[in-house]
Amino acid sequence: MTAPLLNVEHLTMRFGGLVAIDSVSFEARAGEITAIIGPNGAGKTTVFNCLTGFYKPTEGRLTVDRGGENYLLERMMGHDIGQKAKVARTFQNIRLFDKMTVLENLMVAQHNKLMQASGWSIKGLLGLDSFKQAEKEAVDLARYWLERIDLVDQADDDADSLPYGDQRRLEIARAMCTEPTLLCLDEPAAGLNPAESAALNELLLYIRDKHNIGILLIEHDMSVVMKISDHVIVLDYGRKIADGEPEAVRNDPNVIRAYLGEDEDSELPPEIQADLEGGDD
Amino acid sequence: MQNSSENKLAFALKSAVAAGLVAMVLAVPIIGLPAVDIGGGTLGLEPRWMHVGLAAIIVFVGRFLLVSTADKRAAMSGDEPLFERMVKPVAQYSKPIGLLVVIAAIALPFMPFANRYVVDVATLTLIYIMLGWGLNIVVGLAGLLDLGYVAFYAVGAYSYALLAIHFDFSFWICLPMAGAFAAFFGVILGFPVLRLRGDYLAIVTLGFGEMIRIVLINWYDVTKGPDGLSSIPRPTFFGLPFKRRPPEGIESFHQYFGLDYSSMHRLIFLYFLILLLALVTYWFSNRMRSLPVGRAWEALREDEIACRSLGINATNTKLTAFAVGAMFGGFAGSFFATRQGFISPESFVFIESAVILAIVVLGGMGSQFGVVIASIFLILLPEIFRELEEYRMLAFGAGMVLIMVWRPQGLSIGRAPSIRLHGDPGKGGAS
């Protein structure tokens, strides 16, 4: 088995007296989709914020192994995590560049590469061929992802003119344009209808298989989680309470208790059971 | 239907009465009570109630007509607002129109009506257009609200003046140095304020602008304080001075070209100089917009958190915006110094920052074309209507209100994408 892409060891995050995450450890591998689930307020988004440098963890170590090179995320500046460790993320509430076009959104994602090619703007100002070539390649990469998310025709429209589902997928495409090794998705299926949700599953599986990167997924929609994840981690009150294959996690008594409260009776009401099984309703 | 039209009439009448009353209340102190000399050098008030009543009636009738015909006007103009229809052809042919404007600007000093005054006003307008384009990079593109832009203008002017007076450098050496100094100050200001956003940033930049001015007033040894710096060397035409009688051994401009001496030569040269500088500013900022750094500026304006998650160094990106904007402020400042020949802190007060910001905001944030229109509106028109005397500022205010009612988003035509996948629709591209 290969070394894990992401290794989280004893991650702890305290806000004053509140312990949002309490010594959580887990791993995520390249070519796998790792889902993080848990009730509201379990600390899932806080884990993401620690991983992507928006919070400095109180304790713990976050290591990204990129081709033998290790990056310690907790010691890096926010933007370095995207630039050097190649961790990209999307947001629970979509954060696109609204008044810029779809294509421009994808071009901004390739900023660091293009900046270097433009000789920190000097070559770009002079309009040298080497920069034009780099820009063309960037457009080609953007077009590749636009084809994946089926938005080629809308490439020159403003991002905020897109329907909600397209905006969600555009945000994923934008993250992919940074050519990440680890993609963190914060509730990508929130607010999607069943058809859009199915298209999202397909996109995520495509990314996993064709680009062989690690995907970390926060999701409430069990139909997405149970269908596509290779590995599920369950958080509750900032602690990890289960970790394993989707099938094993689904039947874990701790998980059932976390979702349903401290009930001795382990029989689930039928609608919850259906939900956990990834009901095809 | 009868009922609803009656309702509308009543509504129009009501709003007209309200507007008339407000106008009356405002008119009492503004129009109704002028101070006059009542003999013996003392001032007294001479009420003009007739005028107050007249003003109230005018507002009443105007408001009534406006409200009662609102439906008809809306029906007439169709779905598209009037402004959109007016600017659409402009947007479509923006390139040829821009070229025409530039040609007109070049031809202006040679027109028969171009006297000293016309060239002077045109030069002044161009200074503000250039400042507007410079500030547009910071405010319009990067979205950093800067209320102290005049500080960089001052830094440019004083660096130029001090370098030219003490070291006797020529204009073309001083200009880049002044720009570099201003950019350096932009970075100095940028560092501490990078974590601030919106209103907080505006307050700090406002303070920075005042700091520079107060330093200029109090650092008497270097800046001569409120006395200002005078006898700043005038620019030369590549070494040829614009003087009637040049010093021994130096040929002046009119002698070299075999012309009769005219004081217009220098003015026209200055006009072309600022035209060139403004066009460079335009070209540069337009070019930057389609480069990665320009796109990052706009992305930063849209969403800083998303930028960070994409690995964009927000600190450096903001600093470049500050530095580039400040640099153009510095260029404009050094031009100002050489044109005036005298500078003092009086020229760099807060109201200048406010006017430049107003140009950018009225023009529509980020719009290059809007800056030109807004400069003409805010600088040129008040100059032309100087004869109106005290009513000039009233007209200025009324104009501002009109624009904000008519086009709250500014005069811009809308943002043109910095890059397209399907080609330019105006040119009949692939889409």
Q: For residue B184, is pLDDT > 90? A: yes
pLDDT band at A266 (very low <50, low <70, confident <90, very high): low
Query: Which residue type, as a one-letter code, is found at position A220?
Result: H
Q: Residue B275 has what pLDDT?
A: 92
B421/A118 Cβ within 8 A: no
> What's the pLDDT at B429?
35
Test the B interface: residue of A108, A130, A183, A216 with most B CBs within 10 Å: A108
- Note the pLDDT of residue B431: 32
Task: Express as a percent the part of chain A with pLDDT over 90.
Answer: 2
pLDDT at B428: 37
Span B285-294, mean pLDDT?
87
Check whether B23 has a pLDDT greater than 70.
yes
Cβ pairs bridging A and B (under 8 Å)? 122
Helix pair angle (B314-340, B292-302), 10° resolution = 110
Q: What is the DSSP string of B114-166?
A: --HHHHHHHHHHHHHHHHHHHHIIIIIIS----S-THHHHHHHHHHHHHHHHH
Average pLDDT over residues B379-389: 75
In sequence order, the β-bridge partners of residue A185 are A217
SS3 of B328-367: the string is HHHHHHHHHHHHHCCECHHHHCHHHHHHHHHHHHHHCCCC
Query: Per the CB < 8 Å rule, is A124 touching B292?
Result: yes
pLDDT at B424: 60
Q: Is the pLDDT of residue B154 over 90?
A: yes
The residue among B276 and B87 whose pLDDT is bigger is: B276
Give tens-digit pLDDT for A204-239.
888 888 888 888 888 887 778 888 888 888 888 888
Averaged pLDDT score across all residues of chain A: 82
- Among the partner-chain residues A83, A110, A118, the one whose CB lies closest to the CB of B291 is A118
pLDDT the model gives residue A226: 84
Mean pLDDT of the region B230-244? 76
CB A96 within 8 A of CB A171: yes
In chain A, which among 76-135 make CB contacts under 8 A with chain B?
Answer: 78-84, 88-89, 91, 95-101, 103-104, 107-112, 114-115, 118, 120-121, 124-125, 135
pLDDT at B412 over 80: no
B291 closest CB neighbour out of A109, A110, A121: A121
Residues B13-28 have a mean pLDDT of 88
Sign of CA dihedral B352, B357, B358, B359: positive
Q: A111, B421: Cβ pair inside 8 Å?
A: no
Whole-angstrom Cα distance, residue B307 to residue B284?
24
pLDDT above 90 (res B332)? yes
Name the residue type at position A15. F
Please tell me the predicted confidence (pLDDT) of residue B180. 93
Kindly report the average pLDDT of chain B as a whole number: 82
Q: Of B293, B305, B312, which is closest to A121 when you measure between CB atoms? A: B293
Across the range B310-323, mean pLDDT stands at: 88
pLDDT at B130: 93
Q: Which domains does chain B have, with CATH numbers?
A: 2-75 (no CATH), 84-236+262-406 (1.10.3470)
Q: How sure is the predictor about A117, in pLDDT bands with cuts at 50, 70 and 90?
A: confident
Mean pLDDT of A14-39: 86
Are B160 and B313 within 8 A, CB to CB?
Answer: no
Q: Tell me, yes or no, if A56 comes closer than 8 A to chain B by beta carbon.
A: no
Contact B140, B360 (CB under 8 A): yes
pLDDT for B331 equals 93
Taking any CB pair shorter than 8 Å as contact, residues of chain B touching chain A are 284, 287-288, 291-293, 295-296, 298-299, 302-303, 305-314, 415, 417-422, 431
Please tell me the distance in Å from B296's CA to the nearest CA on chain A. Answer: 6
Q: Please determine, for the modelled complex, whether the ipTM score is greater than 0.85.
A: no
Q: Do A79 and B314 touch (CB under 8 A)?
A: yes
Chain A residue with Cα closest to B303: A97
More confidently predicted of B99 and B88: B99
Work out the percent of chain B whose per-residue pLDDT is above 70.
88
The pLDDT, as a whole number, for residue B84 is: 65
H-assigned helices in B194-224: 198-218, 220-223
Residues of A in contact with B313 (CB under 8 A): 79, 83
Residue B146 CA to residue B136 CA, distance in Å, equals 10
